[in-house]
Amino acid sequence: MITVTRVTEAAMAILQATPLRQLGITVVNKALFYADLCALRDLGETMTGSGYIALPQGPVVNHYERSLVKSLEHLGLAEQTTEGWEKPLVVRRSLRTFETLTDDQVGIAELVSRKIQGKSATWVSEYSHENDAWITAFRTGTGSPINMIAAMQQILEDDRWLTEDDDSWTGSSFSDAIDDQGVPF
């Protein structure tokens, strides 16, 4: 028996947040990847609990045909059409409530959906090709797992500790960390 999982709920949150209630499969995979990265950054864990692998088109949910597409179809929630080369997933029945995702996770999925929905498969693939963890996994071999902690670096804001050459800023940061007795930290 197929049950609703975190990955199917996350996909539905993304799909239901689009005006047409559909996205190409490449875009869905990238939306899930970036939603998981945002959840990892903001909440300390991914929302889907899925692993991602490096394919030529970029990161995809491991075994996405079975764990995502077939699950959505068997549950009657969405189906993948054969129209065009994007092979969109189309919502057939909405989820009214989310049982495995928190409100924060649903909010992240919806935000990512709004940001990504107008982008083409080519655009999202090229963007994902800038992810250092995908690059590393892809160089290891097609289908290699992607390290999500390393992948998260792409969505972090610039870290002044890593990017600033200004020693005065670094020095003042250390000074601020010293208490009145001169004991660091």
pLDDT tens track for 17-65: 999 999 999 999 999 999 999 999 999 999 999 999 999 999 999 999 9
pLDDT tens track for 66-111: 999 999 999 999 999 987 778 999 999 999 999 999 999 999 999 9
Asked whether residue 108 is domain-assigned, the answer is yes
Task: Find residue 121's DSSP bridge partners.
Answer: none
Terminal-residue alpha carbon distance, the chain: 54
Asked whether residue 150 is domain-assigned, the answer is yes
The residue with greater pLDDT, 126 or 161, is 126
3-state DSSP call for residue 60?
Answer: strand
Asked whether residue 164 is domain-assigned, the answer is no
CA distances (Å), 115 to each of 20, 78, 111, 131, in order? 15, 21, 6, 17
Could you tell me if 98 and 91 are in contact, meaning their C-beta atoms sit under 8 angstroms apart? no
- DSSP class of residue 184 equals B
Asked whether residue 180 is domain-assigned, the answer is no
Compute the Cα dihedral for 45, 62, 32, 105 and give only its sign: negative
pLDDT tens track for 136-183: 999 999 999 999 999 999 999 755 555 666 555 555 555 555 444 544
Asked whether residue 174 is domain-assigned, the answer is no
Asked whether residue 182 is domain-assigned, the answer is no
Q: Write down the pTM of the prediction.
A: 0.84
Alpha-carbon gap, residue 35 to 68, rounded angstroms: 15
- List, in order, residues 6 or more apart from 81 with CB less than 8 Å away: 87, 88, 90
Average pLDDT over residues 107-134: 95
Asked whether residue 130 is domain-assigned, the answer is yes
Judged against a pLDDT cut of 70, whether residue 185 lies above it is answered with no
How many structural domains does the chain have?
1
Domain of residue 29, residue span: 6-157
Asked whether residue 109 is domain-assigned, the answer is yes
